[in-house]
Amino acid sequence: MGNQAMNKSDLILLGAFVLVVLFAPQLFAPIGAGYPDLLQKFAIYGIFALGFNILFGLTGYLSFGHAAFLGVGSYSAVWCFKLLSMNPLPALVFAILFGGLFAAAIGFISLRRTGIYFSILTLAFAQMSYNLAYSVLTPITNGETGLQLAQSDPRLIDMMFGRDYGAVLPPSDLFGIEMTGYSGYYFCAVLLIVCFFLSLRIFRSPFGLMLRGLKSNQNRMAYTGLNIRPYALSAFIISGMYAGLAGGLLAITDPLAGAERMQWTASGEVVLMTILGGAGTLLGPVIGATFIKYFENIFSAFNDGILNQVFDFLPDTAREIMVSISSLFVGEGWNLTLGALFMLIVIFLPGGLIEGVKRIRTSVGKLFRGGGGDGKSPKSAPAE
Amino acid sequence: MDAILLQILNGLDKGGAYALIALGLTIIFGTLGVVNFAHGALFMLGAFCAVAFKALLTMQKISIDPTQMTAWGTPMEIRVPYVEAWFGDFGATLLDYSVPLSILIAIPVMLLLGIVMERGLIRFFYRRPHADQILVTFGLAIVLQEIIRSFFGANPIPLPAPEAAMGMIDFGAALGFDAGSVVYPAWRLLYFLFSLAIVGAVLAFLQFTSFGMVVRAGMADRETVGLLGIDIDRRFTIVFGLAAVVAGLAGVMYTPILSPDYHMGMDFLVLSFVVVVVGGMGSLSGAVVAGFTLGILQSFASMNEVKAIFPGIDQIIIYLIAVGILLVRPRGLMGRKGVMEH
Amino acid sequence: MSLLSVKDVNKRFGGLQALDKVNLEVEAGTVHAIIGPNGAGKSTLLNCFIGRLDPDTGSVTFDGKSLLGLPPHEINQAGVSRVFQTPEIFADLTLLRNVMLPAFAKRDGSFSLNAWPLVDRQADIRDAAMHQLEDVGLAEKAEHIAGQLSRGDKRRLELAMCLVQQPKLLLLDEPTAGMARADTNNTIDLMKKIADRGMTMVVIEHDMHVVFSLANKISVLAQGTVIVEDLPENIKGNPRVQEAYLGGAHL
């Protein structure tokens, strides 16, 4: 097994990641995010973005349709609850399976083209899925209302084991541990850690190297004897499975699946999370997801009253102006903030936050070393 | 036969909108080499030019008439739009024709918007990867539509066509079918003719003016044109402005057909991209032909007879065709080799 | 039997006969140069070897197997590696990764879902790649990013990427094009070193001088046909070659 041991810096990274995730309730408490509902979202969207990053970050294929896989994951999980059992494990298996299958079908066609054609095709397929979920597929998706649990659901496996939930709608539970509150968060957290670990292995594997090659130079790849499409398709399917898992977890923590989860805005959001943190970096997507979900939570809760308090120190007219400008960006206007953030990141910081931190570190380093050295380590940038 | 004719007619107006948006997308792709995900937002902004113009016209003068009393015994408020108060009957006509008249507003507004967008944002992305162009224009699209939402709300805002164009035209009798079998709203027909006119004008502009010649040469081989010492930058700006105007006008005139709301841009954008892909990236005629064809096919798919056989086909027909085309002719119907490919 | 055999290859582009009944036999272990003035059809011919173009008629057989209609990756897996006019490398990866990647392709085939092992723990691949980098004189830059190399070093790297796969045939398309004098000489020396080990090579070249010291046999292509095929020492004095290069419309 000696030849499979990970190197030191990766082990430290993994260890630190595990610690942060496990102690997140304590670590995030000072910024008011130490409660399970929000932490759960960090973890779930972190998984979603980690998967997206395996596709976009490594291969450079920009998909605008990943929300479709998230939605499929949610629907599969809720159906599994309805038909089989309230246990989250089979629900997750189905969510990953269907996310992957769906990705295989869409990827097979979309990957016939590269570049912008690919982006457009994935966007079109996601819109198509969304339209279908709202119209013909209503028997499966329950249209606008969203797919919900009902007391009359068969829940075959639960029945077999003689579990009866009585008159109340049950939450999902893992052999008796209800998937709500902190147990819900830790369930998601463990999966996030597993997903992060797998993504780390992929990044460091020959397969991951091939995916990077795909982004770097497809012509050379082909003349090096590598078949491009199965590589791109595998990355697409893997990211679809991650998305399915994330969708399944959304359903587990809140057993409801709606079509709005598949809308293009949701696809755009995961793109933003990934590039905000840093596409192609290991930690970036998780950081990006946390960042976005944290500020979404804060900004959406803002209203004019709170804004007035915030700008209380200003003279009246200035305060009114500030309030009316900033009220555009909060509450219902959160999407505007997202859009603006999108533009700012792409324009000024294409490498994302990770890149920003590196830049600051380099310039600070230069300051201390009197401008000497370029701060480039001879190592091949292990943080990548 | 008459049913088929009716469906063809039904598809023409939507096809016209697709064609106009796709035309702008293609011109921008071809000349500037930029993938503009905000193009649907331009269509939406055009529609809201009409909304804003109407709102402007209907600004009301409120006066209190002491001679009349309401049921509650308070003096009655009389609300008269300023245009009517000032211009009388002419004002009322103005109001009635507010949608077509908005064109006069929309042209300068959209041109300005296009120029500002190109100078302020797009030009910095000429040399950036396509993924970055997609992302930044995607962000811009969100920003634009959210700004509209914060001003005009989230609900669709109905705008009527002018009285004179509200009627139906009965093609049935004229074409030898039963009277009333092929009835078509006049405005939709007008929209079709309008889109044809715009398409014709744009193509003629590109075909017959020296400016257009440079643009077409640029679409064929951008680097060479740059080497000729032609001021490409200024032309790019104008091209972008032009495409913005085309999209905007498409939006203005579409308002009586579909009440505009803030996210209509994205819906049309996705479909227009599919149109471009089907027509063939970089092909102007491809964009136009595919736009109308897909519009008509979509209208056929929404016939009840068809839906009875393939439920939901109306929702996905365009995508299915796009998939089919891409499998058979990867470059689209009229695509050339090497356009927007790496 | 020859390793690469090209028989009666014709290719038309519209009204232009780009290749006219081209025949070529490349013996294993030799360096075969194809030279000719601009527009003689050298690149078209090369593109027919590697599946980019399909000739209208004729055959291209490598090691007893037809190469026509094969996608690039299968041609490579059959044992043909290619060096491009502008070096095609993975610009944002390190040199070591650049060379390890082809080594993986050689070992694992055209596709492998090899997602669990760690690249850095594949000692055999790593050693082979390092060895190859030493061979071309780039070992000390193994951890540099490839995009930052000089033109000459990029060419060396590209050669290393091809050689690490131990191909049966190496195709080189104007390997010294656009290079400074010193880089050109270094590259020629490197190619000689490779040739001396018995590597079969086909070199497409515009500049006659580059190949004279290298080639065992030279085919001169002009206007789509092989006008002369001979030993290098006999090519120089051949009047038809001089005419093709100096006379007529091709000056």
B39/A120 Cα distance (integer angstroms): 13
Give residue-wise pLDDT tens across range A176-230.
777 778 888 999 999 999 999 999 999 999 999 999 999 999 999 999 999 999 9
pLDDT at C247: 58
Read off the pLDDT of residues A2-14 as tens digits, 9 standing for 90 and up. 456 788 899 999 9
Identify whether residues A234 and A362 lie together within a single domain: no
Residues of chain A with a CB closer than 8 angstroms to some CB in chain B: 60, 62, 64, 109, 112-117, 119-121, 123-125, 127-128, 131-132, 135-137, 218, 264-265, 268, 271, 275, 328, 332-333, 335-336, 338-343, 346-347, 350
Helices marked H in C41-170 — which ranges? 42-49, 72-77, 95-108, 123-136, 151-163
Tell me if A212 and C165 make a contact (CB, 8 A cut-off): no
- Residue A214 CA to chain centroid, in angstroms? 23
Report the distance separating Cα A120 and Cα A106, nearest Å: 12
- Give the C-alpha separation, B99 to B104, whole Å: 10
Region C228-241: mean pLDDT is 82
According to the model, what pLDDT value does residue B160 have?
82
Q: pLDDT tier at A382 (50, 70, 90 boundaries)?
A: very low
- Yes or no: say if B304 and B298 are a contact pair by the CB < 8 Å rule: no
Task: Give the residue-averaged pLDDT of A80-92.
Answer: 88
Backbone angles phi, psi at C65, to 5 degrees: -130, 135
> Each residue of B298-309: pLDDT tens digit?
888 888 777 777
pLDDT at A286: 96
pLDDT of residue A246: 96
Q: Is residue A97 a part of any domain in this protein?
A: yes
- Same domain assignment for residues A185 and A324: no
Asked if C10 and C53 count as a contact pair (C-beta separation under 8 A), the reply is: no
Same domain for A291 and A324 = no
Q: What's the pLDDT band for A383 if we cut at 50, 70, 90? A: very low
CA distance A40 to A289: 11
Q: Which of A82-96, B184-198, C203-217 has the lowest mean pLDDT?
A: C203-217
Q: Is the dihedral of CA C22, C23, C26, C31 positive or negative?
A: negative
Q: Does one domain contain both A321 and A275?
A: no
Looking at the predicted structure, is the pLDDT value of residue B340 above 70? no
- pLDDT category at A262 given cuts 50, 70, 90 is confident
Per the model's pLDDT, the better-predicted residue between C120 and B62 turns out to be C120
How confident is the model over B258-273, as a mean pLDDT?
Answer: 86
Tell me the average pLDDT across B242-263.
91
Predicted pLDDT at A384? 38
Tens digit of each residue's pLDDT (9 = 90 or more) over C64-91: 888 888 889 999 999 999 999 889 999 9
Residues of A within 8 A of B327 (CB-CB) are 109, 112
Both A200 and A244 in a single domain?
yes
CATH number 1.10.10.10 is the correct assignment for the domain at C1-79+167-251? no
Are residues A55 and A165 both part of a single domain? yes
Interface of A with C (CB under 8 A): 3-7, 201-202, 204-210, 212-213, 215-217, 219-228, 230-231, 234, 378-380
pLDDT attached to residue B97: 84
Domains of chain B as residue ranges with CATH: 2-56+99-328 (1.10.3470)
How large is the greatest C-alpha to C-alpha distance in chain A, in angstroms? Answer: 74
What are B79's two structure tokens? Answer: 């609300």
Helix-strand-coil split of chain C, %, nearest 5: 40, 25, 35
pLDDT class of A97 with cuts at 50, 70, 90: very high
Mean pLDDT of chain A: 86
Burial (CB < 10 A; 0-12, 13-18, 19+), residue B38, is: buried
pLDDT in the model for residue A69: 96
Q: Residue A154: give the domain boundaries.
A: 35-300
Question: With an 8 Å Cβ cutoff, is C143 touching chain A?
Answer: yes
Mean pLDDT lowest for which of A269-278, A361-370, B25-34?
A: A361-370
| Closest chain A C-alpha to C17 CA, distance in angstroms | 27
CA-CA distances (angstroms) from residue C120 to A26, A58, C59, C124, C145? 36, 18, 43, 10, 17
Determine which of A53-57, A292-296, C33-37 has the lowest per-residue pLDDT on average. Answer: C33-37
Which residues are paired to C222 by β-bridges?
Answer: C225
How many domains are there within chain A?
A: 2
Mean pLDDT of chain B: 82
What is the Cα–Cα distance from B278 to B329, expressed in whole angstroms? 9
Task: Mark whether A294 and A314 lie in a shared domain.
Answer: no
Domain C-terminal end among A253, A285, A300: A300
Of A6, A216, A227, the CB nearest to C90: A216
- Residues in Cβ contact with A266 at an 8 Å cutoff, skipping those fewer than 6 apart: A67, A70, A260
Is residue A150 domain-shared with residue A234, that is, in the same domain?
yes
- Residue A1 or B245, more confident: B245
pLDDT digits (tens, 9 = 90+) for A303-347: 777 777 777 787 878 777 877 777 777 777 788 888 898 899 999
Q: What residue segments make up the domains of chain C, in order of their start?
A: 1-79+167-251, 92-166
d(Cα A49, Cα A56) in Å, to the nearest integer? 10
pLDDT band at B279 (very low <50, low <70, confident <90, very high): confident
Shortest CA gap A210–chain B (Å): 19
By the 8 A CB rule, do B243 and B114 touch? yes
Radius of gyration (C-alpha) of chain A in whole angstroms = 22
pLDDT of B77-121, one tens digit each? 777 777 677 777 777 777 788 888 889 989 999 999 999 999 999
Q: Among partner residues A132, A333, A343, which is closest to B146 by beta-carbon distance?
A: A333
pLDDT-based confidence at residue B223 (cuts at 50, 70, 90): low
Claim to verify: residue A145 and residue A272 sit in the same structural domain: yes
Lowest mean pLDDT among A190-194, A317-321, B40-44, C192-196: A317-321
* Closest residue of chain C to A226, computed from CA coordinates: C110
A266 and A352, same domain (yes or no): no
Domain membership of residue A63 (yes or no) is yes
- Identify the pLDDT of residue B303: 80
A-to-B residue pairs, Cβ atoms closer than 8 angstroms: 114
Q: Which positions in chain A touch B147 (Cβ < 8 Å)?
A: 328, 336
A351 in the same domain as A254: no
Choose the final residue of a domain: A300, A320, A343: A300
CB atoms within 10 A of CB B251: 31
Sign of the Cα pseudo-torsion (B154, B158, B159, B161, in order): positive
Q: pLDDT at position A376, please?
A: 41
Beta bridge partner(s), residue A129: none
**pLDDT tens digits, A359-375:** 888 888 887 775 444 44
Pairwise pLDDT comparison (B6 vs B22), residue with the higher score: B22
Of all residues in chain B, the one with the smallest CA distance to A114 is: B341
User: C129-150 pLDDT, tens per residue?
Assistant: 999 999 999 999 999 999 999 8
Which of A124-138, A146-160, B78-92, C188-202 is predicted least confidently? B78-92
- Nearest CA to CA, how far is B250 from chain A (Å)? 22
Task: Point out the residue among A6, A212, A217 whose CB comes nearest to the CB of C88.
Answer: A217
Closest by CA to A301, choosing from A36, A39, A67, A33, is A33
The reported pLDDT for the residue numbered B92 is 76
Domain boundary among A248, A271, A300: A300
CA distance A331 to chain C (A): 42
ipTM of the complex: 0.90
* Coil vs helix vs strand at C222: strand
- Predicted local confidence at residue B336, as pLDDT: 61
Pick C114's closest partner by Cβ from A205, A212, A379.
Answer: A205
Which chains, if any, share at least 3 CB pairs under 8 A with chain B? A
| Best residue in C110, C130, C157, C165 for a mutation probing chain A (most A CBs within 10 Å) | C110
Q: Note whether A255 and A148 are same-domain residues.
A: yes
Closest C-alpha among C64, C58, C52, C68 to residue C17: C58
With respect to residue A1, please indicate whether it lies within any of the assigned structural domains: no
d(CA A26, CA A318) in angstroms, rounded, equals 38
Nearest to C101 among A6, A219, A224 (CB): A224
Please compute the mean of the pLDDT values over residues B138-159 and round it to a whole number: 89
Which C residues, 151 through 180, put their C-beta within 8 Å of a C-beta on chain A?
161, 165
Q: What is the spatial distance between Cα A264 and Cα A259, in angstroms, rounded to a whole number?
A: 11
More confident residue, B4 or A223: A223
Q: Dihedral sign for Cα B271, B276, B280, B286, please.
A: positive
The residue of A14, A198, A220 whose CB has the most chain C CBs within 10 angstroms, and thus the best one to mutate to test that interface, is A220
DSSP C138: -
- CATH number for position A230: 1.10.3470
Residue B255 has pLDDT above 50, yes or no: yes
In a domain, A332, yes or no: yes
State how far the Cα of A345 lies from the Cα of A349, in Å rounded to an integer.
5
Rounded average pLDDT over A230-251: 96
Give the Cα separation of C55 and C44 in Å (integer). Answer: 9
